[in-house]
Amino acid sequence: MENKKQSKEWKIAAMHFLLSCAVALIIIAMVMFILFPMIIFGAIDVFIDFFCVVSILSIWSGVRTSGIYITKSYEIENKDKVIILATIYYVIVMIVWSIVDPRIIAWFVDSGVVSLSYNYIFAEWLFKIIGTIIFYMAGKSYIKNTAIIQQ
Protein backbone atom coordinates (compact mmCIF):
# COMPACT_ATOMS: atom_id res chain seq x y z
CA MET A 1 0.00 0.00 0.00
CA GLU A 2 1.44 3.34 -0.97
CA ASN A 3 1.48 6.28 1.42
CA LYS A 4 -0.93 9.00 0.45
CA LYS A 5 -0.81 12.52 1.75
CA GLN A 6 -3.44 13.60 4.23
CA SER A 7 -4.69 17.11 3.79
CA LYS A 8 -7.76 19.24 4.32
CA GLU A 9 -10.36 19.29 1.55
CA TRP A 10 -9.76 22.96 0.76
CA LYS A 11 -6.04 22.31 0.19
CA ILE A 12 -6.75 19.34 -2.06
CA ALA A 13 -9.30 21.46 -3.95
CA ALA A 14 -6.75 24.27 -4.34
CA MET A 15 -4.18 21.79 -5.64
CA HIS A 16 -6.72 20.37 -8.08
CA PHE A 17 -7.69 23.84 -9.31
CA LEU A 18 -4.08 25.02 -9.73
CA LEU A 19 -2.87 21.86 -11.44
CA SER A 20 -5.89 21.77 -13.76
CA CYS A 21 -5.38 25.38 -14.79
CA ALA A 22 -1.62 24.93 -15.25
CA VAL A 23 -2.10 21.96 -17.59
CA ALA A 24 -4.84 23.80 -19.50
CA LEU A 25 -2.67 26.91 -19.92
CA ILE A 26 0.27 24.84 -21.18
CA ILE A 27 -1.93 23.17 -23.79
CA ILE A 28 -3.44 26.49 -24.86
CA ALA A 29 0.00 28.12 -25.10
CA MET A 30 1.33 25.31 -27.29
CA VAL A 31 -1.67 25.46 -29.61
CA MET A 32 -1.52 29.27 -29.84
CA PHE A 33 2.17 29.06 -30.75
CA ILE A 34 1.43 26.56 -33.50
CA LEU A 35 -1.65 28.39 -34.84
CA PHE A 36 -0.36 31.95 -34.54
CA PRO A 37 0.24 32.20 -38.32
CA MET A 38 -3.55 32.02 -38.79
CA ILE A 39 -3.77 35.48 -37.21
CA ILE A 40 -1.00 36.85 -39.41
CA PHE A 41 -2.70 35.61 -42.58
CA GLY A 42 -6.06 37.06 -41.59
CA ALA A 43 -7.97 33.93 -40.56
CA ILE A 44 -8.87 35.41 -37.17
CA ASP A 45 -12.45 34.07 -37.19
CA VAL A 46 -11.27 30.51 -37.82
CA PHE A 47 -8.57 30.96 -35.18
CA ILE A 48 -11.09 32.14 -32.55
CA ASP A 49 -13.45 29.24 -33.26
CA PHE A 50 -10.61 26.74 -33.11
CA PHE A 51 -9.25 28.41 -29.98
CA CYS A 52 -12.61 27.99 -28.20
CA VAL A 53 -12.66 24.27 -29.00
CA VAL A 54 -9.05 23.83 -27.88
CA SER A 55 -9.74 25.76 -24.68
CA ILE A 56 -12.66 23.52 -23.76
CA LEU A 57 -10.61 20.40 -24.50
CA SER A 58 -7.69 21.78 -22.49
CA ILE A 59 -9.95 22.35 -19.47
CA TRP A 60 -11.09 18.73 -19.69
CA SER A 61 -7.50 17.52 -20.13
CA GLY A 62 -6.27 19.61 -17.21
CA VAL A 63 -9.00 18.30 -14.91
CA ARG A 64 -8.32 14.74 -16.04
CA THR A 65 -4.59 15.06 -15.37
CA SER A 66 -5.18 16.71 -12.02
CA GLY A 67 -7.87 14.21 -11.01
CA ILE A 68 -5.60 11.26 -11.71
CA TYR A 69 -2.74 12.88 -9.76
CA ILE A 70 -4.94 13.95 -6.83
CA THR A 71 -6.54 10.50 -6.56
CA LYS A 72 -3.14 8.77 -6.55
CA SER A 73 -1.48 11.22 -4.16
CA TYR A 74 -4.05 12.22 -1.53
CA GLU A 75 -6.43 10.52 0.84
CA ILE A 76 -9.80 11.91 -0.13
CA GLU A 77 -12.70 11.31 2.23
CA ASN A 78 -15.28 13.51 0.53
CA LYS A 79 -14.66 13.95 -3.19
CA ASP A 80 -17.84 15.99 -3.64
CA LYS A 81 -16.61 18.66 -1.23
CA VAL A 82 -13.23 18.80 -3.00
CA ILE A 83 -14.89 19.14 -6.41
CA ILE A 84 -17.33 21.82 -5.25
CA LEU A 85 -14.56 23.84 -3.59
CA ALA A 86 -12.34 23.59 -6.68
CA THR A 87 -15.26 24.67 -8.87
CA ILE A 88 -15.91 27.64 -6.57
CA TYR A 89 -12.22 28.63 -6.92
CA TYR A 90 -12.59 28.31 -10.70
CA VAL A 91 -15.72 30.49 -10.79
CA ILE A 92 -14.12 33.16 -8.59
CA VAL A 93 -11.08 33.35 -10.85
CA MET A 94 -13.28 33.53 -13.98
CA ILE A 95 -15.31 36.39 -12.47
CA VAL A 96 -12.20 38.31 -11.38
CA TRP A 97 -10.61 37.67 -14.77
CA SER A 98 -13.67 39.12 -16.49
CA ILE A 99 -13.62 42.19 -14.26
CA VAL A 100 -9.96 43.01 -14.84
CA ASP A 101 -9.85 41.93 -18.48
CA PRO A 102 -8.74 45.09 -20.32
CA ARG A 103 -11.12 44.49 -23.22
CA ILE A 104 -14.08 44.43 -20.87
CA ILE A 105 -12.83 47.49 -18.99
CA ALA A 106 -12.37 49.32 -22.31
CA TRP A 107 -15.89 48.34 -23.33
CA PHE A 108 -17.42 49.54 -20.06
CA VAL A 109 -15.51 52.80 -20.03
CA ASP A 110 -16.19 53.31 -23.72
CA SER A 111 -12.62 54.41 -24.29
CA GLY A 112 -12.72 53.46 -27.95
CA VAL A 113 -9.62 51.30 -27.61
CA VAL A 114 -11.56 48.25 -28.64
CA SER A 115 -15.06 47.72 -29.91
CA LEU A 116 -16.94 44.78 -28.50
CA SER A 117 -20.46 43.80 -29.28
CA TYR A 118 -23.03 42.37 -26.95
CA ASN A 119 -22.70 39.14 -28.93
CA TYR A 120 -19.03 38.92 -28.00
CA ILE A 121 -19.78 39.51 -24.31
CA PHE A 122 -22.54 36.89 -24.43
CA ALA A 123 -20.26 34.37 -26.19
CA GLU A 124 -17.47 34.97 -23.68
CA TRP A 125 -19.78 34.37 -20.71
CA LEU A 126 -21.35 31.36 -22.39
CA PHE A 127 -17.85 29.95 -22.93
CA LYS A 128 -17.03 30.51 -19.24
CA ILE A 129 -20.25 28.79 -18.16
CA ILE A 130 -19.54 25.81 -20.42
CA GLY A 131 -15.97 25.70 -19.08
CA THR A 132 -17.27 25.69 -15.51
CA ILE A 133 -19.68 22.84 -16.26
CA ILE A 134 -16.87 20.82 -17.88
CA PHE A 135 -14.56 21.57 -14.94
CA TYR A 136 -17.19 20.29 -12.50
CA MET A 137 -18.33 17.24 -14.49
CA ALA A 138 -14.80 16.11 -15.36
CA GLY A 139 -13.85 16.48 -11.70
CA LYS A 140 -16.76 14.21 -10.76
CA SER A 141 -15.44 11.64 -13.24
CA TYR A 142 -11.76 11.65 -12.36
CA ILE A 143 -11.52 12.38 -8.62
CA LYS A 144 -12.31 9.38 -6.43
CA ASN A 145 -12.74 8.87 -2.69
CA THR A 146 -9.56 7.12 -1.55
CA ALA A 147 -9.54 7.40 2.23
CA ILE A 148 -10.14 4.27 4.25
CA ILE A 149 -12.82 5.12 6.77
CA GLN A 150 -12.16 3.38 10.07
CA GLN A 151 -15.17 2.36 12.10
Q: Which tens digit of pLDDT belongs to each residue from 32-58? A: 888 777 667 766 667 777 777 888 899
- In this prediction, residue 18 carries a pLDDT of 96
Work out how many domains the chain is built from and give that number. Answer: 1
Q: Is residue 151 part of a domain?
A: no
Of 44-53, 111-120, 124-133, give the lowest mean pLDDT range: 111-120
Q: Is residue 149 part of a domain?
A: no
Q: Which residue has the higher pLDDT, 110 or 8?
A: 8
3-class secondary structure per residue, the chain: CCCCECCCHHHHHHHHHHHHHHHHHHHHHHHHHHHHHHHHCCCHHHHHHHHHHHHHHHHHHHHHHHHHHHHHHECCCCHHHHHHHHHHHHHHHHHHHHHHCHHHHHHHHCCCCCCCCHHHHHHHHHHHHHHHHHHHHHHHHHCCCCCCCCC
Q: Is residue 150 part of a domain?
A: no
Q: Is residue 4 part of a domain?
A: no
Measured between alpha carbons, how far is residue 100 from residues 93, 105, 107, 125, 141 in Å?
Answer: 11, 7, 12, 14, 32
Q: Is residue 38 part of a domain?
A: yes
- In this prediction, residue 113 carries a pLDDT of 46
Q: Is residue 2 part of a domain?
A: no
- 65 pLDDT band, cuts 50/70/90, is very high
Q: Is residue 58 part of a domain?
A: yes
- 5 pLDDT band, cuts 50/70/90, is confident
- In this prediction, residue 150 carries a pLDDT of 53
Q: Is residue 34 part of a domain?
A: yes
- pLDDT over 60 (residue 148): yes
- pLDDT over 80 (residue 12): yes
Q: Which residue has the higher pLDDT, 99 or 11?
A: 11
Percentage of the residues of the chain whose pLDDT score is greater than 90: 48
3-class secondary structure per residue, 82-125: HHHHHHHHHHHHHHHHHHHCHHHHHHHHCCCCCCCCHHHHHHHH
Print the domain residue range for 78: 9-142
